Amino acid sequence: GEDVEQSLFLSVREGDSSVINCTYTDSSSTYLYWYKQEPGAGLQLLTYIFSNMDMKQDQRLTVLLNKKDKHLSLRIADTQTGDSAIYFCAESIGQKLVFGQGTRLTINP
């Protein structure tokens, strides 16, 4: 079946890199996504990667995809207090998205 797994919590020091990991089960997923949710707000699309790519970089964000292991990661360089949020990964199943439970990123001064 379709399942997306993430660890629930991550804590990093301000200025360090954050790496949020995700595993998914459907090998036919065409696209994989990372969303950010701040308190009281909707989900904001950060970036997405096509399944035939293994890396995508966008400013401070780097997405790595290991299709063989069905593993996706999001690296945030030079983590700032404004990066505190819940991060969701998602896989596309046709037009539908299946979301993980979200990883709450906490930044320590």
Rule CB under 8 A: which residues touch other proteins? 4, 8, 30-31, 33, 35, 41-45, 48, 50, 88, 92, 94-97, 99-102
16 or 26, CB closer to other proteins? 26
Tokens representing residue 103 in the block = 């990883």
From the list 6, 7, 5, 50, the residue with the least C-alpha distance to 25 is 5
64 or 98, CB closer to other proteins? 98
Gap between the Cα atoms of 109 and 97, Å rounded: 35
For residue 69, the minimal CB distance to other proteins (Å) is 21
